Amino acid sequence: MGKEINDECSKCGKILECELFRQGHGLRQERENVAKMIECQMKHRKEREKND
């Protein structure tokens, strides 16, 4: 069974091609670049809120 992705990444249209996503949400592997991934999520959230 896979993990459910329910953070800001799930709202990103480029989720399938995002290397930070794969590194941060990878199954059965050490997480990498989590700080960069969170920074990216915050940027995406600001953009979404600005456009709402």
User: 25: closest CA among 39, 12, 7, 40?
Assistant: 7
With bands split at pLDDT 50, 70 and 90, how would you rate the model's confidence at 37?
very high
Q: Is pLDDT above 90 for 35?
A: yes
pLDDT for residue 45: 94
Distance in angstroms (rounded) separating the CA atoms of residues 21 and 41: 10
User: 3: closest CA among 34, 32, 24, 33?
Assistant: 24
Structure tokens at 7: 């953070």
Distance in angstroms (rounded) separating the CA atoms of residues 27 and 23: 9
Q: For residue range 13-33, list pLDDT tens digits in order.
A: 999 899 999 888 877 888 899
